[in-house]
């Protein structure tokens, strides 16, 4: 990640983009009879530079979401988040848990028992309680991460026994879909799964967070109960993937 100064033009573009997203978030929340303040905007800033992230931190973004451990570490150490929380939203390998526990305010993407256990062990060793979301594969696509919904009860049961983990809710990435009704059906399914889970009243589980909705479907997600929307492209434009050497 090269640290270039962010041009005034790029900053203005970002400012306008975030203002529009905020407005649309508010409109969707009100349309659903919800308080706009219930929904947080997570800027999905994978591949964006430290300087771009730092510039965006001055905008009305609530928190940042990182997909890669290395980027989380680099940007955190460079102070790019300017004191705003950073969440981990990508697939997390168990051997990298050490670098994320305690650093990410919320690990949104717990997608296996192995990962849950690795986080519990690390958090216990550091005497802290790590907030997490369980990621469900809601469109049941083989290519996507997340557990099949049938495995959710078992993972919740395991989490109930983890005294250094608090499950705050669910995260999902429904498949990109031009069919609005189908998109909403899948988002509503996530909300239903969270409601069922909350009804179990397990230890260490507080189902108060639903992370769903991206650049293409965040308004639908808010209509269906999202409390965090994760938006990348609509804020930053296209992602900057480094050329492989």
The closest of 38, 47, 45 to 14, measured between CA atoms, is 45
Query: Minimum Å distance from CB 198 to ligand PLP?
Result: 23
Q: With binding defined as CB under 6 A, does residue 75 bind ligand PLP?
A: no
H or E element, residue 98: helix 97-100
Q: Give, in degrees to the nearest 5, the angle at Cα 178 between 227 and 192.
A: 35
Among 89, 155, 221, 226, binds ligand PLP (CB under 6 A): 89
Total residues contacting ligand PLP (rule CB under 6 A)? 14
| Interface stretch with ligand PLP, choices 55-63, 74-82, 148-156, 226-234 (CB under 6 A) | 226-234
Q: With binding defined as CB under 6 A, does residue 72 bind ligand PLP?
A: no
Q: In angstroms, what is the C-alpha Rg of the chain?
A: 18
The total number of residues written for the chain in this structure: 245
Q: What 3-state class would DSSP assign to 197? A: helix
Strand partners of residue 33? none
Nearer to ligand PLP, 153 or 216 (CB): 216
d(CA 18, CA 74): 24
d(CA 218, CA 25): 8
| Interface stretch with ligand PLP, choices 149-157, 183-191, 192-200, 230-238 (CB under 6 A) | 230-238
Binding mask 1-40 for ligand PLP (x = CB under 6 A): ----------------------------------------
Could you tell me the two tokens for 47? 């591949």
Nearer to ligand PLP, 92 or 207 (CB): 92
Q: With binding defined as CB under 6 A, does residue 230 bind ligand PLP?
A: yes
Which residues here bind ligand PLP, judged by CB under 6 A?
44, 46, 67, 89-90, 173, 214-216, 230-234
């Amino acid at each position: 990640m090269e640290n270039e100064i962010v041009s005034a033009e790029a900053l203005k573009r970002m400012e306008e983009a975030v203002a529009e997203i905020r407005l649309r978030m508010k409109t969707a929340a009100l349309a659903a009879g919800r308080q706009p303040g219930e929904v947080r905007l997570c800027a999905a800033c994978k591949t964006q530079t430290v300087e771009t992230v730092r510039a965006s931190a001055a905008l009305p973004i609530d928190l940042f979401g990182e997909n890669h451990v290395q980027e989380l570490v680099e940007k955190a150490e460079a102070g790019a988040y300017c004191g705003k929380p950073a969440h981990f939203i990508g697939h997390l390998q168990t051997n990298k848990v050490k670098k994320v526990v305690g650093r990410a305010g919320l690990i949104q993407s717990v997608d296996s028992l192995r990962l849950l256990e690795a986080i519990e062990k690390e958090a216990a060793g550091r005497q802290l309680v790590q907030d997490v979301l369980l990621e469900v594969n809601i469109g049941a696509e083989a290519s996507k991460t997340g557990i099949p919904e049938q495995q959710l009860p078992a993972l919740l049961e395991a989490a109930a026994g983890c005294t250094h983990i608090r499950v705050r809710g669910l995260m999902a990435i429904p498949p990109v879909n031009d069919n609005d009704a189908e998109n909403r059906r899948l988002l509503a399914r996530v909300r239903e799964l969270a409601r069922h889970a909350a009804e179990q009243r397990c230890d260490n589980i507080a189902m108060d967070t639903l992370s769903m909705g991206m650049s293409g479907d965040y308004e639908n997600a808010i209509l269906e109960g999202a409390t965090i929307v994760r938006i990348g492209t609509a804020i930053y434009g296209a992602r900057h993937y480094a050329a492989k050497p």
